[in-house]
Structure 1
Amino acid sequence: MKTLSILISILLAMLNPQGKEKEKEVVVIETKFGNIVIELFEDVAPKHSENFKKLAREGFYNGTTFHRVIPGFVIQGGDPLSKDNDRSNDGRGGPGYTLPAEIKMPHKKGFVGAARQPDSVNPEKRSNGSQFYICLDDLPHLDNNYTVFGRVIEGMDVVEKIAQVPRDKRDNPIEKVEMKKVYVKKIKVK
């Protein structure tokens, strides 16, 4: 009987692991200023979260740049056309597909959203398949218009450094801010 009680206790502990750590996937962006770690909102933006991880795993973002930097607003990147030296087309590329809108979250400082074409040519508010931005402040005027799919959990100081780089009249950094490597990593969470 004592053995049965121990087995039941073990089974109950396994079913209700209070305080146990779980693993969660995050996306890490390596830059010359340091790393940015992004937690994904997989429950509210599953398609965008999965797509972001898929592109990171494929190495799609490696060598792309933060091609649009506007202090107090956003830093934007993820365009494969930003890998070359022709800056005139930065911000126009993607993986060749769009994603359906998953507009459910507000735009808070450090939140990550999906770039998209304007309503005049994109009334469904479909997101670019790869371009994303990181909010440098709370941006309520963007709420209900763009899909937010993650947040910076480490490296907001890196984001702030990128926001301060000198840029041209198109808000493109004078010196490229490259995403050297972007990858998925498992971290432990409670």
Structure 2
Amino acid sequence: MHRANFIFLTKIKYFNTTEIYRVAKNFVIQGGNSDETYTVKQRRLYGNYLIKPEFRNNRRHKYGALAAARQWEKNPNKLSSPFEFYMVHNRNGAHHLNNEHTVFGEVISGFDTMDKISRVKVGVDEWPTDDINITVEILD
């Protein structure tokens, strides 16, 4: 379900109006949100639904894992946000997140881009000081 959701949002170009909004050094790079009009309209159109967790032993939080973000507090069922995601940017992984967040894909190329993003200046809240806009596409 997580993978299908990500593909659907990619095909309607939802992510192309969002940005990387969290860069936690040597941990994760998180994106999928913005205040852009199109983004807000899409969230309203489809509703702010949540996705049930899909934990599989072969999908772990290794370096380059693509996973669904979720509300941490007041979310005992570990329901995922359909709109926000993160990539693990720690060469040792982030295995403490296994069975906490659903991994639904992985980065297979572009690690140099992840490295470049990881070096941007961020505030104390881990938000980049300059916007990092996203373009996501599916390659056949």
Q: TM bucket by the smaller chain? A: 0.7 to 0.9
- In structure 2, the CA distance between the partners of 1:182 and 1:145, relative to structure 1 (3 Å rule), is same
State the shift of 1:80 in Å.
Answer: 3.6
Distance 2:103 2:95 in 1: 12
Equivalent position to 2:120, from 165, 181, 186: 165
SS at match of 2:116: helix
Q: How does 1:44-123 map to 2 (within 5 A)?
A: 47-81=1-35, 83=36, 96-104=48-56, 105-118=59-72, 120-123=73-76
Alignment gaps of 5+ in structure 2: 38-45
Q: Indicate the residue corresponding to 2:88 in structure 1.
A: 135
Amino acid at match of 1:125: K
Alignment gaps of 5+ in structure 1: 1-46, 85-93
Identity across aligned pairs (percent)? 35
The two structures, once aligned, show a CA RMSD in angstroms of: 1.5
Distance 1:95 1:176 in 2: 26
Distance 2:133 2:23 in 1: 13
SS at match of 2:108: strand
Distance 1:103 1:80 in 2: 28
Q: Indicate the residue corresponding to 2:41 in structure 1.
A: none
Distance 2:60 2:30 in 1: 17
Contact 1:55 1:61 in 2 (8 A): yes
Q: Deviations over 1:19-77 (max 9, x none)?
A: xxxxxxxxxxxxxxxxxxxxxxxxxxxx0110000000001111211000011100000
Contact 1:101 1:146 in 2 (8 A): yes
SS at match of 1:106: coil
Contact 1:95 1:129 in 2 (8 A): no
State the shift of 1:152 in Å.
Answer: 0.5
Amino acid at match of 1:100: K
Distance 1:78 1:171 in 2: 15
1:185 matched to 2:136? The reply is no
Q: Indicate the residue corresponding to 1:35 in structure 2.
A: none
Count of aligned pairs between the two proteins: 128
Distance 1:73 1:146 in 2: 14
Distance 1:68 1:165 in 2: 10
Q: Which runs of 4 or more aligned residues in structure 1 lie more than 4 Å from their structure 2 counterparts after TM superposition?
A: none
Higher alpha-carbon Rg: 1
Query: TM-score by structure 2 length?
Result: 0.86
